A and B are shown apart, each in its own frame.
Chain A
């Protein structure tokens, strides 16, 4: 099998994007969507067909040298190994379904050429991240997804709030990108190469302190992209974009890029126990933070956004606990059910006349049982119903946390358990508020486009059965994903089956407990005015306000001072004074030219007098 064929995987979406961007406006509407879907489906098919190349140590292939300057050499090269292959399969597979859904969703939208061009470009950038064999190409993809995310969140830019949300996402993730860029440059000076395999080979030579700092820098980058504390404020606002965008970017793919980066560089991460503990704690605190915020949100998509943040917190915990397999497992199963939930939410919003507020919905189950069952499947996976995909993956993470020693990990485990309870609680709150009871607002009937309906069942199936991917031996599985990853799987938790069953029992109890609390509180919906703690959670712990006070306002004040105080007053004032002086001098000089002949003549005469006096004086001096 020709390894160069691997380039089809990222280049097909790029081709689709280019044709839509360059010629999309001249193509019929159906063709625009068809190009986008076919490009991504082609990438998916290529991944499936080329799967054998990932066996063993994988395949590394280079198309051409992208940058070469001195020791720096970055190829446009791909690394298709047991870690990137499942990720590629997930990205292309989920993207294909979401693209199909988007064709239905954007049926009445005018500017679909731009939409599909950006969507395809996004898939290309994401595949660059996943498949890159060097950090520079990875960074290209990293910035590429940031740009596409910016363009897609602000897709309906005529509404300023959307444009602002896009800008916010771009700027906040950019803060993380700076850390990542510093880490890349530092790794290059240390290892003399930006190739990922080369760097990982030389990691043994790093001192512990350097490794810790490097991993913390990488963590900074990952936090920005994956919306972890403290760079998480952009994700809830990112829901301003069209729903397929939320499903694709802010659930299934882009936000997982941070996790993937840490998995990709895990041999480096593993060098520093301190940094790993920090990663775990960041994940744990984010999981708790986001889960608590999701409890009080009113907009259906914001609930899901916070739950995404919380689930990615779990993935960070898995990486921190050393379980790359666990992180990847949760990443994949989460991608399935979260894409399903978002697409279901899109259907629900469509059914409720573009209503976003869950307190004004209700009764959707009666109007569309199909959407209800699909959404239920997603929500059960999210809440961690025993034997669904989310249950196994989340349980695996909690297990590997439990297997670690040390108070930090024990604390993270407890936080993870508590977040699991909250997850179950807010999932059922969402379900009950949206689907149960009678409609709380009169709605007109809307039928769903077929493409929006029929992309849901495959995802529901995948979400519910995702557990089979990495079914633990305790349940009669073979840990397929872990074996597939081989040496890349990280540290495996060494726990006996009894502990595993007990932990699963605890998780199952938490799921039930959360469901019962939700049943108790939200069975009858009373839309009260939110109390202070609910407002606090609704606003995401006032994180926006805090950041506004701590960073934005001082920065604005500083900029204001530089603008008004320095530029306007000092520099411009100085120049203005100088110019005014010149003007005044010119004005004085101007008055000399009165235009009167007599004045000029008297000027002559005075000049003559002056000259004569001077002659006289010289004569006297000589005389």
Chain B
């Protein structure tokens, strides 16, 4: 592998924390979902890197599975966002506080 694993891990870690920061900082549902996607992709990157490093195909296999799952997840979550927009008139996450204890 041309790129050393440590570099890849650093990049993946950076991407992951950027995604996390996006998720935590933003209140817009779509932006939160984007943050989640970024984190998932960071994880995928790590898996691919690790798979190349140890020359094992399992990692890439999991990434393929991850992509399929992500697409399904995104389609469902976007549908829910549209639904929420229609029903509550907003997609600001903090407005949804009916579950308050």
Of A275-283, A567-575, A597-605, the segment with at least 4 beta carbons within 8 Å of chain B is A597-605
Query: In chain B, what residue has the closest Cβ to A596?
Result: B94
Main secondary structure of the interface of A (DSSP, over half): helix
Contact A595 B20 (CB under 8 A): no
Contact A594 B100 (CB under 8 A): yes
Of A167-175, A199-207, A257-265, A585-593, the segment with at least 4 beta carbons within 8 Å of chain B is A585-593
Contact A593 B101 (CB under 8 A): yes
Closest CB-CB distance, B31 to chain A, in whole Å? 12
Provide the residues of chain A in CB contact with B97, threshold 8 Å: 594-596
Provide the residues of chain B in CB contact with A590, threshold 8 Å: 101
**Given A598-B27, A598-B93, A598-B94, is A593 in contact with B100 using a C-beta cutoff of 8 Å?**
yes
A602 to B27, CA, bound (A): 12
Contact partner, B23, options A594, A595, A601, Cβ 8 Å: A601
Query: In chain A, what residue has the closest Cβ to B95?
Result: A596
Closest CB-CB distance, B100 to chain A, in whole Å? 3
B83 part of interface (Cβ distance < 8 Å):
no
Contact B101 A601 (CB under 8 A): no
For the side of the interface on B, what is the size category? 10 to 19
B32 part of interface (Cβ distance < 8 Å):
yes
Contact A595 B98 (CB under 8 A): yes
Contact partner, B93, options A596, A605, A608, Cβ 8 Å: A596
Contact A591 B101 (CB under 8 A): yes
Provide the residues of chain B in CB contact with A602, threshold 8 Å: 24
Contact A595 B24 (CB under 8 A): no
Q: How many residues of chain A are within 8 Å of chain B by beta carbon?
A: 13
Contact A593 B99 (CB under 8 A): yes
Within 8 A of A (CB), among B1-59: 20, 23-24, 27, 32
Contact partner, B101, options A592, A598, A605, A608, Cβ 8 Å: A592
Contact B96 A598 (CB under 8 A): no
What is the total of A-B residue contacts with beta carbons within 8 Å?
35
Contact partner, B94, options A591, A597, A605, A608, Cβ 8 Å: A597
Query: In chain B, what residue has the closest Cβ to A587?
Result: B101
Provide the residues of chain B in CB contact with A605, threshold 8 Å: 20, 24
Within 8 A of B (CB), among A125-168: none
Contact partner, B24, options A592, A593, A596, A598, Cβ 8 Å: A598
Query: In chain A, what residue has the closest Cβ to B23?
Result: A601
A9 to B77, CA, bound (A): 93
Provide the residues of chain B in CB contact with A598, threshold 8 Å: 24, 27, 93-94
Query: In chain A, what residue has the closest Cβ to B101?
Result: A593
B76-100 Cβ-contact flags toward A at 8 Å (1 or 0)? 0000000000000000011011111
Closest CB-CB distance, B23 to chain A, in whole Å? 6
Provide the residues of chain A in CB contact with B96, threshold 8 Å: 595-597
Query: In chain A, what residue has the closest Cβ to B96?
Result: A597
A619 to B38, CA, bound (A): 28
Contact B100 A597 (CB under 8 A): no
Contact B100 A601 (CB under 8 A): no
A12 to B93, CA, bound (A): 88
Contact B24 A597 (CB under 8 A): no
A26-67 Cβ-contact flags toward B at 8 Å (1 or 0)? 000000000000000000000000000000000000000000
Contact B93 A595 (CB under 8 A): no
Of all A-B residue pairs in the complex, the 4 with the closest CB atoms, nearest first, are A595-B100, A593-B101, A595-B97, A597-B93
B interface residues with partner A (beta carbon < 8 Å)? 20, 23-24, 27, 32, 93-94, 96-101
A interface residues with partner B (beta carbon < 8 Å)? 590-598, 601-602, 605, 608
* 17 sample A-B contacts, Cβ–Cβ < 8 Å, listed by A number: A592-B101, A593-B100, A595-B96, A595-B98, A595-B99, A595-B100, A596-B93, A596-B96, A596-B100, A597-B32, A598-B24, A598-B27, A598-B93, A598-B94, A601-B24, A601-B32, A602-B24
